[in-house]
Chains A and B, each alone.
Chain A
Amino acid sequence: MSTKVKTNKISKYNPALDQYSNEDLFPEKTKRAREVLSKPGVIEWLKNLTTIKKLDSEKITKP
């Protein structure tokens, strides 16, 4: 059974959170992820996956 745990809200909408949404809070991890993307062939591989995914979804939605 799925149980949603009730916790106290940290706050109601907190405008201070907005600044975080535009900020890099995990610079080391982001740097590592950028390094992975810069490896030869990774961007092309992802582009291909995205294209295949799009084609597949078009196939599914076509009547």
Chain B
Amino acid sequence: MDIERYEIENNFNSVYFEFISIGNKGSIVKVIKYTKINDEPLVYNLGFGDKNLTHETIDDKAVTNNGDTDRVLATVAFTIYAFYKEFPDANVYLSGSTPSRTRLYQININKFYDYISKDFIIYGELEQGFERFKKGVSYQGFFILKK
């Protein structure tokens, strides 16, 4: 993807990633964690938030406004590729910690849909179930499947 992203530091099993967002509010350590929530079919939940280095806690509701949203989300997208290299049969569920964050994810899926859809199938979550992702529909969450 021709978008700037941050360099990743990850541990050996491709479920935990850290990178540093550098912007107008300073340097913020971002954490991405894929947590297994089901075995058959294999499902992982994608969690994403800021790491508080003082308290060693994670905040997934922080609004940092560091001015690098595209670069941060491009880095999250990059980890999906890294994750699927190790877990090609997994299904990844993604939702925001707040409706506005889910909306932000949706805006970015829309923006890069042509690129993403070459490698992944995206399903959007509605009250009554899931459907293939469509632009302009408001979803509550997403399933990402590798083609």
Contacts and interface: CB of A to CB of B under 8 A. Distances in A.
A47 B145 CA distance: 12
A42 interface: yes
B91 A49 contact: yes
B58 A46 contact: no
Contacts, number: 110
Interface of A: 1-11, 13-14, 17-18, 20-21, 24-26, 28-30, 32-34, 36-37, 39, 41-43, 45-47, 49-50, 53
Contacts of B2: 1-2
B45 interface: yes
Size bracket of the B interface:
35 or more
B103 interface: no
A26 B49 contact: yes
Chain B interface helix/strand/loop/mixed: strand
Contacts of B91: 46, 49-50
Contacts of A21: 11, 13, 15-16, 33
Interface in B8-46: 9, 11, 13, 15-16, 18-20, 22, 29, 31, 33, 35, 37-38, 40-41, 43, 45
